[in-house]
Amino acid sequence: MNRIIDGRYQLIEMIGTGGMSDVYRGIDQKLNREVAVKILRKDLAEDPTFLSRFKKEAQAAGGLNHPGIVAVFDAGEDQGTPFIVMELVNGKTLRKLLQEQTTFSVENALQIVVGILIALDYSHKKGIIHRDIKPGNIMITDQGQIQFAQQILISKIPWIKLGYANSRVDCSFNIMFSFTIICNVI
């Protein structure tokens, strides 16, 4: 693969795929650094609802600056298809670690949960919630740092009180489900 997006981002290889987009390892040729490039699937790029959601959520995620949340560097369109350029995280998803390990120590499980809660606290104070908290969207870096990936699932919440986002049933269910998985393997 040797495609260049927006005259700047060289796509090297696909590293992930999801319901809405494909993610590629790339190189920012202008800054000479590795990046992750998320490209909205072509069929969804033609749907005005998905297109609008992708753009709004990229803007919301781009406003976050926290070590527990994968950084967004750029966003745009190439040949009519929207893309987001993000920090490339070297590590594994919590989902992959749960498949590889049958147990976690209490210390490691708590480190993961605390890392998740710190990132959520930061984003909630900014009025943004992650609507799909699950092991597949949580990265554990090679250095052991916890980071949320999949920012495209972050939503700006218009109804904020005192800087904190109100909880919602669907979000709460996903949080509890993820923590149940972590706690069950201890």
- Residues annotated as catalytic (active site), given as ranges: 132
120-125 CB contacts, 8 Å cutoff, 24+ apart: 120/175, 122/64, 122/66, 122/68, 122/69, 123/64, 123/66, 123/69, 123/148, 123/154, 123/165, 124/164, 124/165, 125/163, 125/164
Strands (E) in the chain, as ranges, are: 4-5, 9-17, 21-28, 33-40, 72-78, 81-87, 91-93, 128-130, 138-141, 146-148, 154-156, 160-161, 164-165
Cα torsion for 148, 18, 183, 68, to the nearest 10°? 0
d(CA 176, CA 162): 24
